[in-house]
């Protein structure tokens, strides 16, 4: 197996905080052979390569159904369920030594499928849900209908960073799609540029000096009230992402730096609703 294989990103659904801690610790162990794995933290907008789901939590199964993972996003169910689902299953208690073999097998089949499909074959992208679901979705369908009818902001991408290197990188990635990528280095200029351009997507590097990313996100969202816009924070491992505060200011979530081109491209396509 190639050493260049990227780390497989896993989304956990339906587990307790203690169980999640165990998954994080076990799957983060360095391996001499096989794939490397990491669990996505709550708030991460990175697309998972694979789901691990607590099959005994009905709300987790409902969320999985809502996400509708495609063929290239395998699912591993942990525990028993009365619902018949077309996914690999492991019983409880979890045999941690065996889980790597099961995951490796799922990912190997995924890689084979990706190779078979080829680079030019369109792959489905999950529809982003802007409102948090509660078990079975009891939200008034009219709420989602109004969201769909919101006009999409047309101002391209705004990058808030202290230098131009990342902006140039994003601009190069988006050049085939005709999107403009603008740079701001402080909150005042970011708000002024956004007022004039109404950006569809804003990427805030949280290490940019003299900015409060939550305050800036709140101001940007209020400034674009009524438009479909998204704000994503770019964080490093030392930054403590506050999920509750981020939700209050309507931040879409975060990505962990440094970003691979693969993660960046998939995220930009998803939030700008571009074809694959």
Domain with 222 in it: what CATH number? 3.40.50.2300
Tell me the pTM.
0.80
φ/ψ of 105, rounded to 5, equals: -65, -45
Give dist(CA 10, CA 7) in Å, integer.
Answer: 9
Give dist(CA 276, CA 250) in Å, integer.
Answer: 26
Residues 239 and 179 grouped into a single domain: yes
> Can you give the residue range of the structural domain that contains 156?
150-271
Residues 159 and 96 grouped into a single domain: no
The answer as to whether 136 is a domain residue is no
User: Of 74, 95, 117, which residue is a domain's last?
Assistant: 117
Contacts 24+ apart (CB under 8 A), 259-262: 259/234, 260/6, 261/173, 262/6
Per-residue pLDDT of the chain (276 residues; tens, 9 = 90+): 344 567 899 999 999 999 999 999 999 887 888 899 999 999 999 999 999 999 999 999 999 988 888 778 999 999 998 888 899 999 999 988 899 999 999 999 888 887 776 544 444 444 444 444 434 454 555 545 555 556 666 779 999 999 899 999 999 999 888 889 999 999 999 999 999 999 999 999 999 999 999 999 999 999 998 888 999 999 998 999 999 999 999 999 999 999 989 899 989 988 987 544
């Amino acid at each position: 197996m190639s050493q260049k294989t990227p780390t497989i990103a896993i989304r956990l659904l339906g587990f307790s905080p203690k169980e999640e801690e165990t998954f994080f610790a076990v799957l983060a162990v360095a391996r001499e052979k096989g794939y490397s794995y990491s669990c996505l933290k709550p708030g991460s907008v990175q697309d998972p390569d694979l789901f691990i789901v607590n099959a005994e939590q009905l709300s987790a199964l409902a969320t999985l159904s809502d996400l509708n993972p495609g063929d290239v996003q395998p699912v591993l169910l942990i525990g028993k369920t009365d619902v018949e689902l077309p996914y690999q299953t492991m019983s409880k208690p979890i045999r941690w030594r065996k889980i790597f073999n099961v995951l490796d097998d799922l990912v190997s089949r995924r890689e084979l499928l990706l190779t078979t499909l080829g680079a030019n074959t369109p792959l489905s992208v999950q529809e982003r849900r802007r409102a948090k679901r509660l078990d079975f979705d009891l939200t008034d369908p009219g709420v989602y209908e109004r969201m769909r009818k919101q006009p999409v902001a047309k101002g391209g991408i705004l990058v808030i960073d202290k230098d131009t290197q990342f902006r140039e990188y994003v601009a190069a990635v988006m050049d085939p799609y005709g999107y403009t990528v603008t740079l701001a280095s402080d909150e005042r200029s970011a708000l002024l540029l956004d007022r004039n351009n109404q950006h569809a997507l804003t990427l805030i590097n949280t290490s940019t000096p003299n900015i409060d990313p939550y305050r800036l996100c709140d101001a940007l969202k209020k400034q674009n009230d009524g438009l479909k816009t998204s704000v994503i924070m770019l964080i490093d491992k030392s930054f403590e992402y506050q999920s509750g505060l981020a939700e209050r200011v309507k931040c879409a979530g975060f990505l962990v730096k440094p970003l691979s081109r693969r993660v960046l491209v998939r995220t930009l396509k998803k939030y700008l609703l571009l074809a694959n």
